[in-house]
A and B are shown apart, each in its own frame.
Chain A
Amino acid sequence: MSYILRRVLRAILLSFAVSALCFLFTEMAPGSFFDEMRLNPQISPETIFALRSSYGLDQPLAVRYARWVKAALHADLGYSIAYNMPVRPLLWSRAKNTLLLTVSALALTWLISVPLGVWAANRRGGWVDKAVALGSSFVISVPELVIAVALLALVVRWRILPVGGMMSADSDAFSTLAKVQDLARHLALPVLILVLCEIAIIVRHVRASVLEVLGATYVQAARGLGVSQGRLLFRHVLPVAANPAISLLGFSLAGLLSGSLIVEVICGWPGLGPLLLEATLSRDLYLVIGGIMFSALFMIGGNLVADIMLIAVDPRIRKEGADAR
């Protein structure tokens, strides 16, 4: 239990560190939200200056940070300059969609990649293994954005799925079942892109760690003793091989979350991605920081879950937690 307590403490410290660095970064980045107005010849520099000060952007960094922390402790993440609205409701209305997308992609990725990796390792050099090696090389080598655009292009041509968005414009009138179907159809493409981008990494790691264990002395001894391949695999190999895979789970969540940023933008998925990308490019500071904090919490949570699972699989680690040497 104390282990988990320590992790929670760390998460809190981490949140402070992340937020402080976020502020520092925003200070370093050139340009401000109001720069676009400079291009509009009808707006005077005085107006821009007045706007800046009305948002407190002319205050020193430390003052702004202190103010923000104070407000954040009261669950107030500040105010979006672009939307003229508090940040929290803006983030929340989209975070749900991002969660839906990432969690579906996560589940699907692991459902496919674990059996595939185990299979490839078990039949090493077989056609599945080769196909996995080639396929994953391909997917890793092509940038996510290109994969996304290519898949979208196919969808446009074949008209098999909607090209983007989350719901049909008229879905309000649908029955519940039809609504779920509609959602699933819209979800399919972004999930597919995300899964494609992430799966290669997981498959390769699963395969490698299963191979590692398959080659271990005790497994070979067990095989020598006549333990069947299936029993060997499920009783002796997989539990041990699970370790690196579980470490990976923590940030496959983080990876999907950051990957979803791009995929959401290009697929028009109404999640955090389009909001944050635009906020970053337009220097809508508090929205960026709020979004980063949100995904940081998400990732810290993911890692925490991974660590706890690690302990569950490999109880020896727990002892380690107590006897800090």
Chain B
Amino acid sequence: MRAKVLVVIALLLGLHLALLLAGFVAPYDPTAQNRELSYCPPTRLHFEDGSGFHLRPFVYASAVVMEGDQAGSYQEDRNHEYSLRWLVTGPSYKLFGIYESTVHLFEVDEPGRIFLIGTDAYGRDEFSRVLFGGQLSVSAGIVATLITLLAGSIVGIIAGYYGGWVDELLMGVNELFLSLPWLYFLLGVRAFLPLHLSTLRTFFLLTGVIGLIGWARPARLLRGVVLSSRNRNYVLAARGFGATDSYLLRRHILPELFGLLLTQAALLVPRYIAAEATLSFFGLGVNEPAASWGNMLSALQQYSVLVSYGWLLAPAGALVVTSVLYSSLAEVFHSRLKSHTT
């Protein structure tokens, strides 16, 4: 059990480090276009060529094979080998937005190109984009989840604990929020914003909009649990002994909610990251050329892209990994809490 916990934490750390150091890990600028290499499939790493086995992996250049006047599939040009090099200089980037650097974890010899998970429509390196996109998407997903759950718990606990007209009012507002036409609302919101939104503003906007729309569900769930736990015999007994509201909440009610909150958190983070795909339709997402998992996934909604360029599923893969890790973490937390309380 302990070993599993360590593995989860190590993987999570690794993931976040890779995202944080995206500039270093990614071989290329995420916005750099290679117009000759649009939708290039993942570059294969080779160890063997005609002259035998090499310890240092190398790649071949990809080139389009023409079919008549139409571009056909990509093939490797076996004439030149480009070796993989570690810690080399390449395009400059800013680490944490401050330190300017040109050192990259790996790259291949120029003019070769290494696209670990292929390129998108403009020939941009999908691997670099996943890393850079993750920075914004993962943090926005977490912050939005925190906002949602915080607002949801406050409302849910108040409604469930105090009951009566407070409950009636809060749940009325809650249902109102659940039934409003948010698509229409988004259109309206966009109209009131300036045309160009900086990445920072987009971040606040995304988390704000999601929090505003999202709090209603958890609030209602939490309210249900509070409602029944406040009527448990031991809670009623404690109240009979003169326990204050805050004591009851802290000692008896909140612990009951942890499981639910963690489950919700593990569900909401990936949901919210993916939700950006929808928001970007209304001009509220992260705009090109900046990468985010949401706007990368929105390209996949096209049938022709999905069936023709499978490697573009990479952001979904990254999201699955992230969400598995987060739910394992939630699980670990949960069992820790349990073992403490009992």
Determine whether A and B are in direct contact in the complex, meaning some CB atoms lie less than 8 angstroms apart: yes
Interface residues of A (CB under 8 A from B): 6, 10, 13-14, 17-18, 21-22, 25-26, 28-31, 133-134, 136-138, 140-143, 145-146, 149-150, 152-153, 200-201, 204-205, 208-209, 211-212, 215, 217, 220, 243-244, 246-248, 250-251, 254, 280, 288, 292, 295-296, 299-300, 303, 310, 314, 316-317, 319-320, 324-325
B228/A316 in contact, CB under 8 A: yes
Which 3 pairs across A and B sit closest by C-beta, in order of nearness?
A: A28-B188, A324-B164, A247-B224
When distances are taken between beta carbons in the complex, the residues of chain B under 8 Å from A319 are 231
Within 8 A of A (CB), among B169-191: 171-172, 175-176, 178-181, 183-185, 187-191
When distances are taken between beta carbons in the complex, the residues of chain A under 8 Å from B70 are none
B306/A150 in contact, CB under 8 A: yes
Known: A244-B260, A324-B163. 11 other contacts (CB 8 A): A10-B172, A14-B179, A22-B181, A25-B188, A28-B189, A133-B324, A208-B260, A211-B334, A212-B260, A280-B184, A292-B180
Minimal Cβ-Cβ distance residue in A for B184: A25
A153/B306 in contact, CB under 8 A: yes
B324/A30 in contact, CB under 8 A: no
A244/B256 in contact, CB under 8 A: no
* Total A-B Cβ pairs within 8 A: 176
Q: Which of A6, A136, A143, A212 has the most CB of B within 10 A?
A: A143
A10/B181 in contact, CB under 8 A: no
In the assembled complex, B200 has its CB within 8 A of some CB on chain A: no
Interface residues of B (CB under 8 A from A): 162-165, 168, 171-172, 175-176, 178-181, 183-185, 187-192, 217, 220-221, 223-225, 227-228, 231, 256, 259-260, 262-263, 266-267, 270-271, 273-274, 277-278, 297, 300-303, 306-307, 316, 319-320, 322-324, 327-328, 331, 334, 338, 342
A141/B163 in contact, CB under 8 A: no
Bound state CA distance, A211 and B339, in angstroms? 13
> Which of A146, A303, A310 sits near B306, CB closer than 8 Å?
A146
B303/A149 in contact, CB under 8 A: yes
Bound state CA distance, A212 and B258, in angstroms? 9
Would you mind naming 26 contact pairs between A and B with Cβ atoms under 8 Å apart?
A14-B179, A17-B172, A18-B176, A28-B191, A29-B188, A30-B191, A136-B327, A137-B327, A140-B323, A141-B319, A152-B303, A153-B307, A204-B327, A215-B342, A243-B225, A244-B260, A248-B221, A299-B175, A300-B179, A303-B220, A310-B227, A317-B227, A317-B228, A324-B163, A325-B162, A325-B163
A64 to nearest B CB, angstroms?
Answer: 15
A243/B267 in contact, CB under 8 A: no
Bound state CA distance, A25 and B7, in angstroms? 48
When distances are taken between beta carbons in the complex, the residues of chain A under 8 Å from B334 are 208, 211
> Which of B183, B267, B303 sits near A140, CB closer than 8 Å?
B267
B179/A217 in contact, CB under 8 A: no
Bound state CA distance, A320 and B263, in angstroms? 27
In the complex with contacts A300-B175, A314-B228, A143-B274 CB distance below 8 A: yes
When distances are taken between beta carbons in the complex, the residues of chain A under 8 Å from B256 are 212
In the complex with contacts A140-B271, A244-B225, A145-B320 CB distance below 8 A: no
A17/B176 in contact, CB under 8 A: yes
A127 to nearest B CB, angstroms?
Answer: 15
B168 to nearest A CB, angstroms?
Answer: 7
A137/B270 in contact, CB under 8 A: yes
When distances are taken between beta carbons in the complex, the residues of chain A under 8 Å from B227 are 310, 317, 320
B303/A143 in contact, CB under 8 A: no
B335 to nearest A CB, angstroms?
Answer: 9
B323/A141 in contact, CB under 8 A: yes
B259/A208 in contact, CB under 8 A: yes
A211 to nearest B CB, angstroms?
Answer: 7
B259/A251 in contact, CB under 8 A: no
When distances are taken between beta carbons in the complex, the residues of chain A under 8 Å from B277 are 143, 145
A208/B263 in contact, CB under 8 A: yes
Bound state CA distance, A251 and B223, in angstroms? 14
Q: Which of A142, A220, A250 has the most CB of B within 10 A?
A: A142
When distances are taken between beta carbons in the complex, the residues of chain A under 8 Å from B189 are 28
Minimal Cβ-Cβ distance residue in A for B274: A143
Bound state CA distance, A199 and B192, in angstroms? 37
When distances are taken between beta carbons in the complex, the residues of chain A under 8 Å from B164 are 324-325
When distances are taken between beta carbons in the complex, the residues of chain A under 8 Å from B221 are 205, 244, 247-248
> Which of B163, B175, B183, B300 sits near A146, CB closer than 8 Å?
B300
Bound state CA distance, A80 and B184, in angstroms? 17
When distances are taken between beta carbons in the complex, the residues of chain A under 8 Å from B331 are 133
A317 to nearest B CB, angstroms?
Answer: 6
B179/A324 in contact, CB under 8 A: no
When distances are taken between beta carbons in the complex, the residues of chain A under 8 Å from B323 are 137, 140-141
When distances are taken between beta carbons in the complex, the residues of chain A under 8 Å from B322 are 141
When distances are taken between beta carbons in the complex, the residues of chain B under 8 Å from A17 are 172, 176
Minimal Cβ-Cβ distance residue in A for B294: A143
B318 to nearest A CB, angstroms?
Answer: 9
Bound state CA distance, A206 and B108, in angstroms? 50
A143/B301 in contact, CB under 8 A: yes
B134 to nearest A CB, angstroms?
Answer: 13
A212 to nearest B CB, angstroms?
Answer: 5
Minimal Cβ-Cβ distance residue in B for A291: B181
> Which of A6, A134, A153, A295 sits near B168, CB closer than 8 Å?
A6
A22/B184 in contact, CB under 8 A: yes
A292/B179 in contact, CB under 8 A: yes
A146/B179 in contact, CB under 8 A: no
When distances are taken between beta carbons in the complex, the residues of chain B under 8 Å from A250 are 220
B259/A211 in contact, CB under 8 A: yes
Bound state CA distance, A28 and B184, in angstroms? 8
B249 to nearest A CB, angstroms?
Answer: 15
B191/A310 in contact, CB under 8 A: no
A299/B320 in contact, CB under 8 A: no
Bound state CA distance, A82 and B181, in angstroms? 19
Bound state CA distance, A153 and B300, in angstroms? 12
When distances are taken between beta carbons in the complex, the residues of chain B under 8 Å from A251 are 178, 217, 220
When distances are taken between beta carbons in the complex, the residues of chain A under 8 Å from B300 are 146, 149
When distances are taken between beta carbons in the complex, the residues of chain B under 8 Å from A10 are 168, 171-172, 175
Bound state CA distance, A18 and B263, in angstroms? 30
